[in-house]
Structure 1
Amino acid sequence: METNSEIISDLKDLLSIVNDGKEGYESASEVTDKIDLQGVFLKYAAQRADYAVELKAHIATHGGLADNESGGILGAFHRTWIDLKVALSTKMDVAILKAVVTGEKAAIEKYDKYIADYVDHADHMLLLEKQREGIVTALKEIESLLLQRELH
């Protein structure tokens, strides 16, 4: 069984992931000129901001302090990769959507890791499952948008 500080660390890891997602979606909305994609990206950026608030509340419940408003080092690297792919791609929106799919799959894997640790995360399992489902829904929408653009 994990200690309280390890549980706080796990939750902070998820907080970093949702902040990465928020920043990634915001970046994606800034580099596309398609209004429909901007709307989708901003919708999911707002969703991730809400997830961050929820996670911060659970961190506080466990006695931790969560002042992180941005993603982690890997998230910064991922956003840089999005920028590079966009700069090199002639199909900018396809490159953006593919990068978002990669980020969402990584987030789902991270949630799966902590959801599998049911004993240590029992008091916030419903929150983690709800947030994971929201990410899965976002992934499905992004994959659908990607397929539409790849076919055209």
Structure 2
Amino acid sequence: MEKNNEIISDLKGLVNILNDGKEGYASASETTENPELKGIFATYSSQREAFAEELKTHLNEHGGDSENESGGVLGALHRTWIDIKQALSSKEDAAILGAIVTGEVAAIEKFDKAIEHPEIHTDHLELLQRHRTAIQQALSEIESFYHRAVSAAQ
């Protein structure tokens, strides 16, 4: 039973951070004036929403639920995504991208913690690894845009 509680706790935390990412990307998409970034942010927002839904299925299979659709308490900490709000108010792409990088790094750290215990997450380990890989790819793309935006601003 303790293992199941740990699974539920880990999955809830991951769903929360995915919801934070979904909201952060959606806000960034609405704020940036760069059409390319708008599209990328909207795509990643949808991706995070789909990932959260996949994890909710596993959460339900373990007897847990996630009633939170807009991020978590961790989100208060993590809402570096909401530091995006400060970045968004400036409408500067470099600031928006920098805040997103911070949020994605935090998401990867959260996934890494869960993946560190494959014995706990055996029935959904492949799913966690797939999500983590996709988030890492998104991070790489966002970092590339960030570095270009910073260079352009100098």
Q: One fold, TM greater than 0.5? A: yes
> CA contact under 8 A between 2:18 and 2:49: conserved in structure 1?
yes
> CA contact under 8 A between 2:24 and 2:82: conserved in structure 1?
no
Among all aligned residue pairs of Structure 1 and Structure 2, give the percentage whose two residues are the same amino acid. Answer: 53
Instruction: State the alpha-carbon separation in 1 of the partners of residues 57 and 68 from structure 2.
Output: 13
Instruction: State the alpha-carbon separation in 1 of the partners of residues 59 and 138 from structure 2.
Output: 25
Deviations 1:49-84 (A, max 9, x none): 100110000001112122221101343542432112
Aligned counterpart, 1:40: 40
Ranges in structure 1 where 5+ consecutive residues have no aligned partner: none
Aligned counterpart, 1:103: 103
> CA contact under 8 A between 1:27 and 1:79: conserved in structure 2?
no
How far residue 7 of structure 1 moved from its aligned partner, in angstroms, is 1.0
> CA contact under 8 A between 2:16 and 2:74: conserved in structure 1?
no
How far residue 6 of structure 1 moved from its aligned partner, in angstroms, is 2.0
Instruction: State the alpha-carbon separation in 2 of the partners of residues 142 and 97 from structure 1.
Output: 6
Name the aligned partner's letter for residue 39 of structure 2: G
Instruction: State the alpha-carbon separation in 1 of the partners of residues 65 and 107 from structure 2.
Output: 22
TM-score (norm 2): 0.91
TM-score (norm 1): 0.92
Aligned counterpart, 1:60: 60
Aligned counterpart, 1:69: 69
Aligned counterpart, 1:114: 114
Which segment is superposed worse, 1-10 or 137-146? 1-10
Q: How does 1:136-151 map to 2 (within 5 A)?
A: 136-151=136-151
Q: Residue 124 of structure 2: SS of its match in structure 1?
A: helix
The Cα RMSD (Å) is 1.6
Which consecutive segments of 4 or more residues in structure 1 shift more than 4 A? none
